[in-house]
Amino acid sequence: MRASDLLHPRPEGLYCPPGDFFIDPVRPVDRALITHGHSDHARSGHRSVLATQQTLDIMGLRYGEDFAGTTQAARLGETIALNGVCVSFHPAGHVLGSAQISVEHQGTRIVASGDYKRQRDATCAPFEPIRCDVFITEATFGLPVFRHPPDTQEIARLLKSAAQFPERSHLVGAYALGKAQRVMRLLRDSGYDKPLYIHGALAKLSEYYQSQGIDLGALQPATVEGGKEDFAGAIVVGPPSAFADRWARRFPDPISCFASGWMRIRQRAKQGGVELPLIISDHADWDELTATIKETGAEEIWVTHGREEALVRWCELEGIAARPLHLVGYEDEGD
C-alpha cells in the first residue's frame, strides 16, 4: 500500500482512510488519536478519543471531564486494531503522557511522532526510536543554528543568579504543561529545596504530575493571600502570559527569566524583556532531529510544523526521500 493512501493531510488533520481516524485533528471529528495534551494537538469536542491515560487525564483537567463523547486509553506498546489498521503508542519524551503513534497496514508502517525531544527529562518517559517506512517529524527547531545546551547548565545559571541577588525575586516564564514541571524538577535535582512559588494556572497540572510520582517538592501559591508577604529571594514559576499583567508587579525588583528553545535567539529574548533567557526546550534540536531520522531507518520523511525546508534539504543530501506535509493549525504552546 502506498504510504500516502495510509495517511494524508486533510483540513481537519492527518487522516487514515482505511482506519477512518485522524491524528491530532484541529477540528472536531468522529475518531481522534491524540499524541499529547498541548492545546494545539489535543482539542475538545471529538466523538471518540484514543490516547494514553495521562493524555486523557490532562485533557480532562484542561477541558473538563466531558471533553469527548467517549475515550479509550492506549497502553504504551500495545497494538490496537482500528478497522484492520494496527495502531500503537510509544513514548515521545515531550511532556508527561506524550506518545508517537505507529500506524501499520498491509506491510507499511508510518510513525507520526507528534512533538518530541531526545534530551533526558525526569518528568516523562524517554523517546523510543521505532523502525518504520515513513517517519513524520516535527521541525520546530529545524535549523542548524538550534542546538540546545544541557538543561542542567541552564538551571545552574538560574541558581547562580538567585544566589547573586538574594534580595530580588526570579520570575521564570514556563509553559503550563510540561515545561513548568520540568523546570521545577530540574531545580530539585540541582539541590534547590526551598519552596517554589507558582502561578494559579500551573496548580492543577503540577498537582497531577505529583500524583503520577513526579516529585516537584514543596509548591506554594504565588499570592499575597497565600501568606507570603515578601518574595525576596524567591523563585516564582508562571506561564509566560502572566508576566505581562498586574500579577507580576507584586514581586520585588524581579529578574525576568524565560525557559524556551527560542531563547537561543538573543533578539527574541531582548524584545520580550527577558533578562535571564534559559534555553530549555521540549522539542528536538537540529542534532536530535537528524540523529532520530537516521535511527528510524525510514526511507521517507514527512516534515511538519516548523522549519520544514532545511530539514527536507538535509534529508535529500543524505539520500533520504523527504517532503513537507503542510499541516495547518499547529503553533506549539510548549516550545
Of 55 and 169, which has the nearer Cβ to Zn ion? 55
- Sign for the CA dihedral angle at 2, 76, 302, 304 comes to positive
Min CB(269)–Zn ion separation in Å: 21
Scanning residues 266 to 325, which ones bind Zn ion (CB under 5 A)? none
Q: From the DSSP assignment, how many helices (H) and strands (E) are in the chain?
A: 8, 19
Selection from 173, 12, 23 nearest residue 92 by Cα? 23
Among 24, 57, 115, 308, binds Zn ion (CB under 5 A): 115
The answer to whether 100 and 116 are in contact (CB under 8 A) is yes
Nearer to Zn ion, 105 or 179 (CB): 179
Rounded-to-10 torsion of CA 43, 47, 51, 56: 70
Least Cβ distance, residue 121 to Zn ion (angstroms): 13
Q: What angle do CA 83, 86, 88 make, to 5 degrees?
A: 130
Residue 93 contacts Zn ion per CB under 5 A: no
At its nearest, how many Å lie between Zn ion and the CB of residue 53? 18
Q: Candidates 84-92, 112-120, 214-222, 233-241 — which segment interacts with Zn ion by CB under 5 A?
A: 112-120
Q: Which stretch binds Zn ion (CB under 5 A): 47-55, 73-81, 115-123, 135-143?
A: 115-123
CA dihedral 326, 330, 334, 335 (to 10 degrees): 30
Q: Which is nearer to Zn ion, 169 or 260 (CB)?
A: 260
Type of residue at 133: D
Compare residues 42 and 158 and give the one whose CB is closer to Zn ion: 42
3-state helix, strand, coil in the chain (%, to 5): 30, 25, 45
Which one of 43-51, 72-80, 109-117, 168-176 is the stretch in contact with Zn ion (CB under 5 A)? Answer: 109-117
254 vs 334, which CB is nearer to Zn ion? 334
Nearer to Zn ion, 306 or 334 (CB): 334
Nearer to Zn ion, 97 or 334 (CB): 334
Residue 93's contacts (CB-CB under 8 Å, 6 or more residues apart) are 116, 117, 118, 119, 121, 124, 125, 126, 127
Q: Is 57 in the site for Zn ion (CB under 5 A)?
A: no
Site string for Zn ion, 32-51 (x = CB under 5 A): ------x-------------
Smallest distance from Zn ion to CB 80, Å: 23
CB of 97 to Zn ion, least distance (A): 11
Closest to Zn ion by CB, 117 vs 168, is 117
Residue 7 beta carbon to Zn ion: minimum distance, rounded to whole angstroms: 19
Local structure of residue 27 (DSSP, 8 states):
S
Task: Give the up-direction half-sphere exposure of residue 163: CA atoms within 13 A in the CB hemisphere.
Answer: 7
* CA 18 – CA 22 distance, rounded (Å): 11
How many C-beta atoms lie closer than 10 Å to residue 168's C-beta? Answer: 18
SS3 230: coil
The residue with cell 512533538 is 115
Considering only 19, 173, 238, 334, the residue that binds Zn ion (CB under 5 A) is 334
Q: How far is the CB of 170 from Zn ion (least distance, A)?
A: 25
Contact between 332 and Zn ion by CB under 5 A: the answer reads yes
Please report, as ranges, the residues that interact with Zn ion according to CB under 5 A: 38, 115, 332, 334
